[in-house]
Structure 1
Amino acid sequence: MSEYPPIAEHGLIGDLQTSALVATDGTIDWFCSPRFDSPSLFASLLDSEKGGHFTTRPHVATFDTKQLYLPDTAVLVTRFLTEAGVGELIDFMPATDEVARERHRLVRVLRCVRGAMEFDIEIAPRFDYGRTPHRLTVGEDGAVFVTDALTLALSVIRDPDDARLAHVEQTDDGDLRATVSLREGELRGIVLETGPDVEAAPIPVAEGRRLLDDTTKYWQDWVEKSTYTGRWREEVQRSAITLKLLTYAPTGGLVAAPTAGLPEQIGGERNWDYRYTWVRDASFSVHTLVRLGFVDEAIAFGRWLRDRVVEPLDSDTGPLNIMYRVDGDPKLSEEVVEEWEGYRGSHPVRIGNGAADQLQLDIYGEALDAVYHLDRSGNVIGHDGWTAICRMLDWLAENWQQPEEGIWETRGGRKDFTYGRLMVWVAFDRGIRLAATHGRPAPVDRWTEARDAVYDEIMEKGWSEDRRAFVQQYGDTVLDASLLKMPQVGFISPHDTLWIDTLRAMEEELVSDNLVYRYNPSASPDGLQGSEGTFSLCTFLYVDALARTGRVEDARLTFEKMLTYANHVGLFAEEISATGEQLGNFPQAFTHLALIDAAITLNARLDGRNPE
């Protein structure tokens, strides 16, 4: 196992309640259970010695490896090529849309497709971020790793007359090592099951094949629901599958990413925990999913959002938090795993997120825009939901002029961010439209007055004559790529000279070989040390803006170049470094949302149509 494989050298598997990363050398180096936001069992990606891992690889010292997904699925295949033969490691988690389960299965099927191959297996779990010791028991049917809070059972996929795992060895640390020898056409495997009282049990090969077939069919049936038929279909479908993998099915909450602590700068301190549901990110997913035809997923998040709106917080930051746990719990204290060195020395490793109680006014616009798009797709909000929306907009009418922390969750104090005001305008605009469409009782005159006041303020204070551009915050000249959404949300025409000038200014300062920085930290101190790479979300927003502005060929070239930065299975992390390395938590939902939106918008403009 490489000490720290590149972030991009991973595929993602999951069961719609949690997920795991599988490196191209066959190592599972990130896995939390029973939920995305639960403590880790395998986390060598954040500490190669103390994090825990599950390795499966050829016994020989030298081998080539390839990785791919079975078409239109979340079933990941890692192929090993040696002089003696070719083997495959097929990783997946049986998926279900059922209610929350305590038990979760991770399946690793081993198959020899040519010649012969001997696999080395090492299972070294480290429970609760390596802070809880475990006990190991090995029996005829497998092995069990036990802690007071969680049990991990290892069952072997084999037929009754097969030999058991050969050369099984228990280490002093309570880990397990074994080898499996296969000839061409043979199949075996391992099933890891987590839960409070799971046990090891023999699994016939036929059952292993059935699990694989059922999981493959689940994903292929789901992808068939897509209504998208335009260009870049493969990239769009892979992004849609990734978003589905990042959705906590019992509530509909979408996590920003399945990982924590992966750095925005190698060796730096910008290492955050993204395993939670941001109102902003998940709200954007509604329009994206509706555009693809995945209305059920959009409705599920709509219910999650409704529950947050109907049961407002008792907080001085308003009726909504910016993020929640996947079950809607707003309590998200931040701590540091001091014992871990972090990915390639990127310390601190943060668990939880201290930005949860920040004031970010833009989330109200994103939430109302999600409700608006759900309404347009035929999912009209009920009376309780409408009452809660009115209460939320009334609060916003009283508080929209407050300084805030902004979309990028900076830790340099509250400011008057233009993007926050932009989305406040969206909140009032969508509320007014919903009231008019359905004749709902609402203080529309008050909302209209507030909406128009926000508009006038942005035009007066958010515009800089010196820069000939809309700027990040009032009274400053710093640019911010989040404002690429201005024409997308309908605030300004993409052909307005003010917007054309803004786009030109962004290209001069924020765009580097078609990749886009979100802002310049040296020009706008954000309370953190170090720098960061280009922000992949912003590059796809740039594509969308170019297409809407009429620069279709520029948009197409930028989009095609951006696709070359995807990893080998089409996944994107949060950022891209100056050398093209993927940085930050992986894969990032926001990036894949923006990829889909950019593809749909660009495809429409190439066909001579206006985007939806």
Structure 2
Amino acid sequence: MTGPGDTDLNLALIGNAAGAALISSEGAVTFMCAPRMDGDPVFCGLLNPVSGPPEGEWQIRLTGQTRSEQRYLRNTPIVETLLHDAEGNCLRLLDFMPRYKNEGRTFRGRTLVRIVEPVSGTPRLQMRLRPRYGYGAHPATRTAGSNHIRYDLGSQVLRLSTDAPLDYVLSETPFLVGRPMAFLFGPDEGLSDDALVVAQHFLRRTRGYWQDWVRSLALPPDYQQVVIRSAITLKLCSYEDTGAIMAAITTSIPEYDGSGRTWDYRFCWLRDSYFTVQALNSLNATRTMENYLLYVSNVAAGSPDGVLQPLFGLGGEREPLEELMPDLAGYRGSGPVRRGNAAYTQVQNDGYGSVIMAVTQAFFDERLPNLGGVDLFRRMEQIGDEARRRWNEPDAGLWEFRTRSAVHTHSALMCWAGCDRLAKIARHLNLTPEADRWAAEAHEIREAILHGAWNKERGSFVSEFGGEDLDASLLLMAQTGFLRPDDPRFLATLAAVEQDLRFGDHVYRYRRPDDFGAPETAFSACTFWLIDALHRVGRQEEARQIFEGILSQRTALGLLSEGVHVETGALWGNFPQTYSMVGLINSAMALSRRWEEVL
């Protein structure tokens, strides 16, 4: 099932924790939402507007273009694309969004900046800037000014400011590039100086910001470039204004061609956010945790009954209604395209433990300017009370089954983890009665899991209390501290998961058919969970071998989507997926040598 705008996920992510865009390997802006990262995709070429390409994209090409090269500027999310034609001419294209420190605050303008400059010969450029709105339904209406073009997109107006010839931009006429030129696309506001001057100022300050940020990371000696790129990507998936963390930048990239599994991931899942915070904390990038704490506090305060839904909008919105968008055919023609996610209506009881685990370090990390105290602990206790009440109630589970529910082992495990961490926090704060109470709650849940989730016939834990099937989340039993890695029950469960869910060096999340049939792609996060489990039980070389294999399946720029098709190695699912980027960091940190072994 293919469409006229066939592409792959070999895309570059740019952004600044306020906005984000995806750039194709040939330099086209193929996906960008405005005014927020969960808004209308004004560049939606990745999802194939039914009117056909080049609608919904911002293309910069050379006439007679033959090839392109692409890389990130070192330790930044600034992408450089070199465009070549048949006559030996070459054009350099720099794409980024500005982010830098300014008068004690972080400036993160919602502007896409593109700088073009000739590298060799006399390159001849053709630009096609065709944003759409209403999820691909309508083309923008253009109005030209002296040095800008305004694009009316229904509920918003965006402006292109440039020092390039406007007539050529409007008519899409090829023109020679004999000097650097700049294009700034963003809010309908004038510039304080010439477009190129502003763009080069943004470039210099933004590059310096990211290089300083990377310098502050606590990196392992091995796999440094893997960790750096993954950390930057996770940072770009955060929405710093509120502290929310997106599961992915995109919507509706299917789990596999024609599967119908097309979901909108541009929301903040409590579960996914925990994994992101944990990974960044391990690198000394704790500010994301601090911002997320504010976000969680706000959504919890807005839940007077104590119930936390699985996901929220970037601004804390509670009802991201799921709708089909008929004017977009879908990635490679494989729809439907969806806006919103009905999973917000589901019961997913693992979220309570996820929230508590995400903020636990805030009570212990002396580097933080404001350590968590009794007031924060009391707020977390309210969430813990829900975990205590709900751990043995049926839910949709972390895989978000839409037509069945059960008491899922992973949900109970995370509720146990929440109570266990509350006991540790209370002990740290010298709150002895509270520590004893939460330790007792954790013990009760733990005993129930040991009995209810253990299947004697299979000789392993299973995914549901009283069930028979396995899912990959069972691999997290050691990582969460529920069982020691050398516990015979964990070793038996690891062996069972490998037998049922491991195919070569890939791991499926489960194999039992769900609402859409049996999964056809391996879930990358699960493969990283296997690597972690193998590392913990001492199978280091095997873990390293699997890790090296998945490194080879990243895009040319080091990014991963949600899943991998086992037979072809093709990437599928929303992109870039925070779960997968977290796995890259965690595995690299676990498998790297220590600094004293290197120096």
TM-score for the superposition, normalised by structure 1: 0.90
Residues 66-81 of structure 1: pairs in structure 2 closer than 5 A: 66-81=69-84
Matches within 5 A, 1:33-182: 33-50=34-51, 52-60=56-64, 62-84=65-87, 85-95=89-99, 104-132=110-138, 134-157=140-163, 164-165=165-166, 167-170=168-171, 177-182=172-177
Alignment CA distance shift 1:81-1:135 (3 Å) = closer
**Corresponding position: 1:375 with 2:347:** no
Aligned counterparts of 1:91 and 1:442: Cα–Cα separation in 2: 56
Q: Distance in 1 between matches of 2:134 and 2:282?
A: 39
Alignment of 1:4-43 (within 5 A): 4-43=5-44
Aligned partner of residue 129 in structure 1, secondary structure: coil
Could you tell me how far apart the structure 1 residues matched to 2:542 and 2:594 are? 12
Is contact 1:87–1:110 with CA below 8 Å preserved after alignment? yes
Tell me the equivalent position of 1:570.
558
1:324 corresponds, among 299, 302, 312, to: 312
What SS class does the counterpart of residue 332 from structure 2 fall into? helix
Q: CA deviation at 1:518?
A: 0.8
| Partner residue in 2 for 1:174 | none
Q: CA deviation at 1:201?
A: 8.5
Looking at structure 1, the residues matched to 432 and 443 of structure 2 have their Cα atoms a distance apart, in angstroms, of 20
Q: CA deviation at 1:74?
A: 0.4
Structure 2 distance, partners of 1:310, 1:118, is: 57
Map residues 343-382 of structure 1 onto 2, 5 A cutoff. Answer: 343-378=331-366, 380-382=371-373
How many angstroms apart in 1 are the aligned matches of 2:101 and 2:565?
36
Q: Compute the displacement of 1:349 (Å).
A: 1.0
1:587 maps onto 2:572 in alignment: no
Separation in structure 2 between the aligned mates of residue 487 and residue 46 of structure 1, nearest angstrom = 39
Task: Assess if the C-alpha contact under 8 Å between 1:552 and 1:605 holds in 2.
Answer: no
Report the AA paired with residue 581 of structure 2. H
Measure, in 2, the Cα distance between the counterparts of 1:39 and 1:441. 51
Secondary structure in 2 matching 1:130: coil
Point out where structure 1 has 5 or more consecutive residues left out of the alignment: 159-163, 171-176
Distance 1:376 1:324 in 2: 27
The residue type equivalent to 1:146 in the other structure is: D
Q: Counterpart in 2 of 1:173?
A: none
Give 1:30's aligned amino acid: F
Query: How far apart, CA to CA, are the structure 2 residues paired with 1:100 and 1:295?
Result: 16
Shifted more, 338-347 versus 486-495: the winner is 338-347
Alpha-carbon distance, 1:246 to partner: 0.7
Q: Give me the whole-angstrom Cα distance separating, in 2, the residues matched to 1:471 and 1:243.
A: 31
Task: Kindly report which structure 2 residues correspond to 1:335-350, keeping only aligned pairs within 5 A, or say none.
Answer: 335-350=323-338
Q: What is the distance in 2 between the residues matched to 1:21 and 1:126? A: 16
Q: Structure 2: how far apart are the matches of 1:368 and 1:121?
A: 49
The separation in 2 between residues aligned to 1:35 and 1:97, in whole angstroms, is 21
- Which one-letter code corresponds to 2:14 in the other structure? I
Does the Cα contact within 8 Å between 1:10 and 1:22 map onto a contact in 2? yes
CA separation of 1:120 and 1:570: change in aligned 2, threshold 3 A: same
Higher mean C-alpha deviation, range 584-593 or range 293-302? 293-302
The residue type equivalent to 2:180 in the other structure is L
Deviation at 1:558, TM superposition (A): 0.8
CA distance in 1, matches of 2:389, 2:148: 62
| Distance across 1 between alignment mates of 2:518 and 2:193 | 52
Per-residue deviation, 1:345: 2.5
Q: Is the 8 A contact 2:320 2:342 kept in 1?
A: yes
Match of 2:414 among 399, 419, 423: 423
Is this contact kept in 2: 1:76–1:91, CA < 8 A? Answer: yes
Amino acid at match of 1:268: S
Give, in whole Å, the separation in 1 of the partners of 2:408 and 2:596: 36
Match of 1:247 among 227, 233, 238: 238
Partner AA of 2:474 in structure 1: L
**Aligned residues: percent identity?**
32
Range with bigger deviation, 360-369 or 126-135: 126-135
**CA–CA distance in structure 2, aligned partners of residues 100 and 350 of structure 1:** 33
Verify the 8 A CA contact 1:154 1:192 in the aligned structure 2. yes
Deviation at 1:229, TM superposition (A): 3.4
Q: Find the aligned partners of 2:281 and 2:342 in 1 and give their Cα distance.
A: 32
Deviation at 1:71, TM superposition (A): 0.4
* Mapped contact 2:130–2:140 kept (Cα < 8 A): no
Q: Flag the 1:178–1:301 CA change in 2: closer, same or farther, 3 A.
A: farther
CA RMSD of aligned residues (A): 2.4
